[in-house]
């Protein structure tokens, strides 16, 4: 997770949550990410004013065999568990958390016939896995913006639980990801 200057963002720091990241913020800040078929869940504890977010690329740990060197945050089911555990360790039980779910676009929506699209729709599977795992902890999203054919860019205010979202076309998403990669390279 890279932290960069937040000019114009109410003076709060901004951190980009990359694929496989699970971010927990103990101080108010903005967490941001860009999603296509990936899924992101924001977690907010109102009484403590703390928040967190993950960015998962695959639905469940059953797919770990194909991706041996990955973090728990790569998988929606493990990412939910990791975030719940992080909040629990900080004295915030799951039943006090407010969650919101985003992402799961089917970026291949227009590329193939319906039968192939369904088989390749990892976005839908990511969302289903995240929602099912949240339910295991008694968590139901208070808001969600999922599926469809467009990617999304999110800004999550960890101190208030607010989320700002914009829809992306594929060219805009590519430009953002390229700029983010350049920024990371310059930080090294």
Instruction: Render pLDDT for 74-101 as a digit per residue (tens, 0 to 9).
Output: 999 999 999 999 999 999 999 999 999 9
Reduce the DSSP state of residue 113 to 3 states and report it: coil
When pLDDT is averaged across residues 56-62 and rounded to a whole number, the result is 90
More confident residue, 50 or 175: 50
- Burial of 37 by CB count in 10 Å (0-12 exposed, 13-18 middle, 19+ buried)? buried
d(CA 159, CA 1): 18
- How do residues 94-128 score in pLDDT, each as one tens digit? 999 999 999 999 876 665 666 666 667 899 999 99
Residue 89 to residues 13, 45, 84, 85, Cα–Cα distance (Å):
24, 13, 9, 6
When pLDDT is averaged across residues 138-159 and rounded to a whole number, the result is 95
Q: Which residues of 45-60 are buried (b: 16+ CB within 10 A; e: fewer)?
A: beeeebbbbbbbbbbb
Helix, strand, coil percent content, the chain, rounded in steps of 5: 35, 30, 35
| Structural domains of the chain ordered from first start | 2-187 (3.30.1330.200)
């Amino acid at each position: 997770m890279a932290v960069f200057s937040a000019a114009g963002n109410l003076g709060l720091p901004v951190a980009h949550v990359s694929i496989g990241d699970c971010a927990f913020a103990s101080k108010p800040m903005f967490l941001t990410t860009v999603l296509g078929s990936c899924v992101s869940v924001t977690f907010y504890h109102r009484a403590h004013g703390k928040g967190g977010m993950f960015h998962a690329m695959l639905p469940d740990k059953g797919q770990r065999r194909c991706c041996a060197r990955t973090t728990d945050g790569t998988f929606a089911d493990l990412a939910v568990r990791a975030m719940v555990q992080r909040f629990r360790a900080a004295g915030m039980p799951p039943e006090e958390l407010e969650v919101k779910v985003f992402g799961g676009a089917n970026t291949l929506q227009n590329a193939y016939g319906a039968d192939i699209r369904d088989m390749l729709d990892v976005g839908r599977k990511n969302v289903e896995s995240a929602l099912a795992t949240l339910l295991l902890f008694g968590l139901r999203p208070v808001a969600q913006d999922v599926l469809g054919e467009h990617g999304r860019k999110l800004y999550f205010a960890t101190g208030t639980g607010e989320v700002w979202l914009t829809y992306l076309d594929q060219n805009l998403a590519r430009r953002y990801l390229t700029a983010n990669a350049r920024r990371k390279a310059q930080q090294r």
